[in-house]
Chains A and B, each alone.
Chain A
Amino acid sequence: MLLIYCPYCEIERAETEFRCGGEAHIARPSDPEKTTDDDWVEFLYMRSNTKGIAAERWRHIHGCGRFFNAVRDTVSDEFLKIYKTGEAKPDLEALAREAGK
């Protein structure tokens, strides 16, 4: 069971309090009508399914209820960075290098 830091509660809590919300930084196109079919399909279904360093959404569903983003090594489950919704996507390669991955 993962131990997850909520950046809003500023505390570590067990995974059972959270729910993973899939890959992060996939924005819903702001003008859907002008979005092509292919781009909409990309938004709906296409995910990178990374083996390694990935940014994903988490929600502290049984705590504060807030969504936040986290960079996790999907192989080791190690969290490399946790940040609030709205903050820019970190440089995953740089994070991987820092962590010696």
Chain B
Amino acid sequence: MSQPFRTEKGGRIDRAEELTFTFDGEELHGHAGDTLASALLANGVHLVGRSFKYHRPRGILTAGSEEPNALVGVYRKDDQTPNLRATQVELYDGLKAISQNRFPSLGFDVGAVNDLLSPLFPAGFYYKTFMWPKSFWDRVYEPIIRAAAGLGKPPKNPDHDSYGNLYAHCDVLIAGSGPSGLAAALAAAETGAKVILCDEQAEFGGSLLSESSATIDGKDPAVWVAEAIARLGAMDNVTLLPRTTAFGYFAHNFVALAERVTEHLADPDPRLPRERLWQVRAKEVVIAAGAIERPMVFPENDRPGILLADAGRTYLNRYGVKVGHKVLVATACDSAWQAAFDLADHGVEVVGIIDLRESPPESLVAIAAARGIRVEAGCVITSTLGRKRIKAALLGRLMTSGQVASGGQIECDALLMSGGWTPTVSLFSQSRGKVVWDAEAGAFVPGKSVQKERSTGAANGLYGLQASLADGYAAGEGAARAATGKSATITHSRTSGGEAGSGGTLGALPHDRNASRVKAFVDYQNDVTAKDVKLAVREGMQSIEHIKRYTTTGMATDQGRLSNMNALQIASGALDKPLTDVGLTTFRQPFTPTTFGLFAGVSRGDFFDPVRKTPSHDWVVAKGGLFEDVGQWKRAWYFPENGEDMHAAVERECRTVRKSVGLFDASTLGKIEVVGPDAAEFLERMYTNPWKKLAPGRCRYGLLLNDAGFITDDGVIGRLADDRFHVTTTTGGAPSVFATMEDYLQTEWPDLDVWITSTTDQYAVAAVQGPKAREVIAPFIEGIDLSAEALPHMSVREATFCGVPCRLFRISFTGELGFEINVSRRHGKMMWDTLAGEIAKHDGVAYGTEAMHVLRAEKGYIIIGQDTDGTVTPQDAGMTWAIGKKKFDFVGKRGLERPDLKAENRKQLVGLLTKDPKIKLEEGAQVTTLENPATGTPAEGHVTSSYFSPALDRSIALAIVKNGHALEGKALYVPMPEGSIPVEVTGTVFYDKEGARLDV
């Protein structure tokens, strides 16, 4: 099939293997080894997208990952991945790609009206336009901005691909495999150091793959690359990772790599991941990221058909593609001349070399003359023509006056430009190194290393093939020696040709046009022009960070790798400050856009967050119970029967517990075993309560504060022996209480002889609560007397349950006679099934967390974190009874003595009863003294817990209210949108105030 812009020969594509692909539905052909970009260009397709803001037609600009224009969607498995850079998408048979940001079609796009309306879209447009009225923010402005913003459309389906994750350690990690990266790899590998060499491209070699005018050791550079890679590949100490981007440099030489494993394959093995995240810890890092060419900022520098000169050369030499049949070259430096020469040597008509410089090197001028190429020195491009493809450029001649004189028109179908080279310092910047200005290189280059890394070659502002190789060898040797202490010598290759060029320019170029009417693009992807940068300065932006955000220059996916230097120069001119004083913005991770899938890895679906299940889980599922998520735990919430709603089910569960008996899975409670000669002393210091005189076999409610004096956790603690306590914590507080105990034990009281062990997962716990609780458990408990006399409330015993050892607590979180039985976790299901069977015989129920909450609220038992919020003291909560006043010290004791914690007007925990018993307050609702306070009146407090109480047949609530304890019996209000609700302040215990029901 015809590919009209394919060269006759040359390039690294496989001409024998023809591939078919579609772009916006049109069937086209390319070859194995092509990228989507090179294949499109081979077919003469330059127009590949519409720009972000003005919807201007855009073509392929580069041949690398910095591509700002050629963002496409690629279909795979019935969905499309948006915003892939066509320059990085490898061609395979059947590839289906679409253009983006156009409607209805790429050729005719209604959004292009924005280009005509562009005077309405200056820098800071969004800030200026979408400001007032505030009520428009959510409903009017945001939908407009969202509809207009973004390029590709997100995929419709969940990501069907899998992603891998690998950890790796190495002595030397080398990012980039151009001349200096390869030389570094060869030198480091020779020492025996463990080396990882990665490159974002499909093939190793970087610029060497498109180098036509030089040789290494007398060979074609690409052949030298192949030999070097073969040699490295044969070494056990070397890992070669092509298609792998070092996208993040983090602390302590931790570098994240994204390996694209299957996306380039037409029919990949389904077992392979799409991408693999390598988390590499390198002793030394060599950054060989190269340099990228800068666009020239002249009017209409964004027409399809305008490419960077080196990209044109890469398409020619590496992919066998001519960017046009009549090519114009505009440059400010030597390197672009070689692109012109290579094109001419392939029979392309080069219609001119326009060099900004007054006197380009004689040697180049001579070569051009020999090829019959027109050379215009001291000239610039002042305009380009052609809407969907460049068809001509206007020339401007620089006058000594500083003015530009018209220099005529040149017809062309492609324009290659080069404003010089910018070292890729992104990874260095990510490593927290600061760049420094190198006047000779005309660029910011890496300064002092902060981490164990070194930049080499073009990434360090060093050009020329021989120099890059030499610098690479030195970097590899140096890194290996620093990492391992070993060194080795290898024969350094000799080169001929590939000398470093000179020249380069920064900023906007002069022209003879009306400056307010032309668009000379600085940032292609974000549609930022030279004029926008100047406007930002005029409107008061002084810092480059502000200019960046105001204009959005450098905020596209390439983070300004193409645009920053030009923008900086323009800003520097507008601010009348030296470029180095304006400063460079910081490059951040990731180097190139990275998929969410890569970060998520296998942490998706069931693996997103572990689920913790209790022993009753399957039983609850079988009974149709509903679950509540409490942290990672699944806890039974309530058990609806016969179509009950939640309210009815909870009411039935509560009534049954108070009338007969209920069974509750309390396995999620935190448990800590505190053991040792000083165990009692340790608890004495940790908790507010006294522990030393607690007899073995007895329990006590424990209240835990922080040293500021605020309540942080609570739980029942049982003394099993003189030197052994079984501590329980709240479900959510288990890890933090354990960590706090460890902290005090290890760092404040290392003198105490105590061991603490988290036993939360070791025990399954069943709570049996209600008047018939004793009858329910009695058949299964052996070894102890369960009578009220032998086992009073707040006791603990070791016994057996169905023959397996258990710890039996007689405690209650319901106000009823209650037992909590702890058995080894593996016997939990047996215990649950046994008790569930037994309660049925006693008209009992299994109840969930909702009923548990109601039952405890009826008794005024607080839930830490619900009725307290980190600023509540025991006094505030009405729990001074829990404080051991005679104790010398405990965590929080001194804090409680601070004046603020003893001050008047503290918020205190109280009960609230609505005047209308049917009204249930909303948790979180504000409490006020006035029925209808004026807007802005501070609340006196808020409702913390609110339920309908079946036992009282009315609503009940707990609240934190200013001076609440003194307000008992007084009326307050809870203002709601439907009207203020009058309430009466009460004590916190609503049911069985004397506790008679516990005492049976």
Chain A residues near B (Cβ < 8 Å)? 1-3, 14, 19, 21, 27-29, 32-33, 35, 37, 40-41, 43-44, 57, 59, 61, 65-67, 75-77, 85-86
Contacts and interface: CB of A to CB of B under 8 A. Distances in A.
A41 B707 CA distance: 10
A40 B892 CA distance: 11
A67 B894 CA distance: 25
B861 interface: no
Contact of A1 (B251, B432, B748, B893): B251
A10 B708 CA distance: 35
Interface string B274-316: 0000010100000000000000000000000000000000000
B747 interface: yes
Given A2-B254, A67-B743, A67-B747, 13 more contacts: A3-B252, A3-B253, A14-B281, A19-B739, A28-B707, A32-B893, A33-B894, A37-B898, A57-B747, A59-B739, A59-B742, A76-B432, A85-B747
B898 A2 contact: no
Contacts of A19: 739
Nearest to A65: B742
Contacts of A76: 432, 450-451
A33 B889 contact: yes
B899 interface: yes
A43 B747 CA distance: 15
Contacts of A61: 739
A65 B743 CA distance: 10
B250 interface: yes
Contacts of A37: 897-899
A33 B898 CA distance: 11
Contact of B894 (A2, A40, A57, A86): A40
Closest 5 CB pairs of A and B: A32-B894, A77-B251, A3-B252, A67-B746, A1-B254
B214 to A, nearest CB: 40
18 contacts: A2-B252, A2-B254, A3-B254, A19-B739, A27-B748, A28-B707, A28-B748, A29-B894, A33-B889, A40-B894, A40-B898, A44-B708, A57-B747, A67-B742, A67-B743, A75-B432, A77-B251, A77-B252
Interface string B436-453: 000000000000001100
B485 interface: no
Interface of B: 250-254, 279, 281, 432, 450-451, 707-708, 739, 742-743, 746-748, 750, 888-889, 893-895, 897-899
A100 to B, nearest CB: 11
Contacts of B742: 59, 65, 67
Contacts of A35: 894
B250 to A, nearest CB: 6
A87 B304 CA distance: 68
A78 B26 CA distance: 56
A6 B894 CA distance: 34
A66 B750 CA distance: 12
A35 B450 CA distance: 43
Nearest to A76: B450
A2 B893 CA distance: 37
Nearest to B898: A37
B969 to A, nearest CB: 35
A33 B887 CA distance: 11
A1 B250 contact: yes
B191 to A, nearest CB: 22
Contact of A40 (B450, B888, B895): B895
B127 to A, nearest CB: 32
Nearest to B749: A28
B743 A21 contact: yes
A24 to B, nearest CB: 9
B666 to A, nearest CB: 26
A67 B750 CA distance: 11
A40 B746 CA distance: 21
A66 B742 CA distance: 8
Nearest to A4: B252
A19 B279 CA distance: 20
Contacts of A28: 707, 748
Contacts of B708: 44
A37 to B, nearest CB: 6
Nearest to A61: B739
Contacts of A3: 252-254, 281
Nearest to A86: B750
B556 to A, nearest CB: 28
Contacts of A65: 742
A64 B432 CA distance: 32
A45 to B, nearest CB: 8
A38 B888 CA distance: 20
Contacts of B254: 1-3
A44 B710 CA distance: 12
A93 B32 CA distance: 61
A44 B450 contact: no
B610 to A, nearest CB: 14
B451 A85 contact: no
A43 B894 CA distance: 11
A44 B252 contact: no
A85 B742 CA distance: 13
B727 to A, nearest CB: 17
Contacts of B895: 40, 44
B746 A2 contact: no
A19 B252 CA distance: 17
Nearest to B756: A65
A91 B756 CA distance: 34
Nearest to B707: A44
Nearest to A38: B898
A14 to B, nearest CB: 8
B869 to A, nearest CB: 18
Nearest to B893: A32
A85 B899 contact: no
Contact of B746 (A1, A29, A32, A66): A66
A2 B748 contact: no
Contact of B252 (A1, A67, A85): A1
Contacts of B893: 32
Contacts of A66: 746
Nearest to A67: B746
Contacts of B743: 21, 59, 67
A35 B742 CA distance: 24
Nearest to B742: A65
A76 B453 CA distance: 13
A29 B707 CA distance: 11
B620 to A, nearest CB: 31
A85 B744 CA distance: 12
A14 B432 CA distance: 20
A3 B451 CA distance: 13
A66 B747 CA distance: 10
B687 to A, nearest CB: 15
B449 to A, nearest CB: 10
A3 B750 CA distance: 27
Contacts of B888: 33
Contacts of A27: 748
A32 B251 contact: no
A80 to B, nearest CB: 13
A35 B895 CA distance: 10
B996 to A, nearest CB: 40
B746 A85 contact: yes
Nearest to A73: B450
Q: Which of A21, A27, A32, A59 has the largest number of chain B CB atoms within 10 A?
A: A32
A61 B742 CA distance: 10
B685 to A, nearest CB: 10
Nearest to B746: A67
A79 B253 CA distance: 13
Contacts of A43: 707
Contact of A41 (B281, B450, B898): B898
Contacts of B894: 29, 32-33, 35, 40
Contacts of B707: 28, 43-44
A44 B251 CA distance: 30
A2 B253 CA distance: 8
Nearest to B888: A33
